Chain A
């Protein structure tokens, strides 16, 4: 499996925050979700990939090329969307097209018009008069109209209403139907990632807690809700994180070799993520 993105031993320190030896690979053709609390290091990773900030150690490869040495070549084939739309306020959608046509070698005006049409974005309205949802859609249209093979999305779906989110997730899903296309998206909306991501990378305070296939994660973990007495009999090595309340205990368990404890239910992605963070804090 050829990786589209490889991070090995990547470190970055900013005052108190430290991204600590992050290693992971994303296979070509996949969607990977970067999850974590605010300040966990999601945006830092995206900025390091884009060389917007300088790493202290490690190596990053995109499409197999080192990200600093082959920066411009990589960026020709990258589509990037940040949490805010960065086009000048007084420009309209066709101005944005005119600007990007001069910047990307592979700019595809026809594809751009089709996306504007599909997202119902008026061509002549100034960006400053767009709603937040429209701004995000314009950024996404721009990111998809130069034959990009890899999309980097930093909180691109946050702050959108559910209908717009659904519409945008559909576009992402269509994009990866081509095996050469991949997406890395950071989000704290775990629900969105549960829908479309193939891989989940969880960050906590600059540490990568795991980077796994989503279906494996769902198979591997289960939720146990039981009384305190029963919980005492569970092998503590299997407990990822737990929460005690008045009526008993809720815990995320790893599947052991033996039979699963009675009453164990499948865990959702949200529970897997939350209890890992809870476990890491302990």
Chain B
């Protein structure tokens, strides 16, 4: 497991510079605009894209057949990808949160509790994203999996757009901050199911 994580982190190393640049860019943007929304929203999502890149790299060098010739079970291989995703999302969100705190202390506006909640929600959105995309990628490969993800993300947006056009509104649902604190439990449960599904897919795969 540790070996697999190290392998993925080393192969993602070349993207770390771009990542740091982006972080810096959104930090400067946040200070100048007095708005930490982008910083918190985008950085975590970019971080969860990384495990998907690592799956593309694996495919390009036919890593799977080699990895499975080492003393590693298929469960371990699947779990290591989820762990990588979790860690990337966690550290990405944490970095964004810390920079956001720094931003509001520099600009002396905004509220810290709100930032914490936003980061928590973005962290959960990242995990939700992973829970959906991993089984798709394990089943269809990184290229098709990515396309399917776009379809899945776009569908509700398009649906909402048309519902709105038709004048239908979802009523009776009022967002409360408390839902934000519930999100981790829901997302972790989904993530758990996703791991089970991916493991089943991967156990049956032939290389």
Interface residues of A (CB under 8 A from B): 47, 50-54, 71-73, 75-76, 78, 80, 82, 84-91, 95, 98-105, 152
CB distance from B55 to the nearest CB of A (A): 12
A53/B206 in contact, CB under 8 A: yes
Question: Considering the chains assembled together, what is the distance between the CA atoms of A152 and B69 in angstroms?
Answer: 10
Q: List, in ascending order, chain A residues with CB within 8 A of B4's CB.
A: 103
A89/B66 in contact, CB under 8 A: no
Q: List, in ascending order, chain A residues with CB within 8 A of B14's CB.
A: 90
A104/B71 in contact, CB under 8 A: yes
Question: Considering the chains assembled together, what is the distance between the CA atoms of A51 and B203 in angstroms?
Answer: 11
Q: List, in ascending order, chain B residues with CB within 8 A of A73's CB.
A: 71
Interface size on B, residues (CB 8 A): 26
Q: List, in ascending order, chain A residues with CB within 8 A of B204's CB.
A: 54
List, sorted by A's number, 10 A–B pairs whose CB atoms are closer than 8 Å.
A53-B206, A82-B66, A82-B69, A86-B63, A86-B65, A88-B57, A89-B11, A99-B6, A103-B70, A105-B71
Q: List, in ascending order, chain B residues with CB within 8 A of A78's CB.
A: 69
Interface residues of B (CB under 8 A from A): 2-4, 6-7, 10-11, 13-14, 57, 60-63, 65-73, 204, 206-207
CB distance from B166 to the nearest CB of A (A): 48
Question: Considering the chains assembled together, what is the distance between the CA atoms of A47 and B68 in angstroms?
Answer: 10
Question: Considering the chains assembled together, what is the distance between the CA atoms of A86 and B13 in angstroms?
Answer: 17
B62/A82 in contact, CB under 8 A: yes
- Nearest to A84 among chain B residues (CB) is B62
Question: Considering the chains assembled together, what is the distance between the CA atoms of A95 and B207 in angstroms?
Answer: 25
CB distance from B198 to the nearest CB of A (A): 18
> Which A-B residue pairs are the 7 nearest by beta carbons?
A102-B3, A88-B11, A86-B66, A103-B3, A80-B69, A53-B206, A75-B71
CB distance from A154 to the nearest CB of B (A): 9
A99/B62 in contact, CB under 8 A: no
Question: Considering the chains assembled together, what is the distance between the CA atoms of A99 and B70 in angstroms?
Answer: 11
A47/B10 in contact, CB under 8 A: no
**Extra A-B contacts (20), CB below 8 Å, given A72-B71, A105-B71:** A47-B206, A52-B65, A52-B206, A53-B206, A54-B204, A54-B206, A75-B71, A86-B62, A86-B63, A88-B63, A89-B11, A89-B57, A90-B14, A91-B10, A99-B6, A100-B3, A100-B70, A102-B3, A103-B4, A103-B72
Question: Considering the chains assembled together, what is the distance between the CA atoms of A282 and B132 in angstroms?
Answer: 54
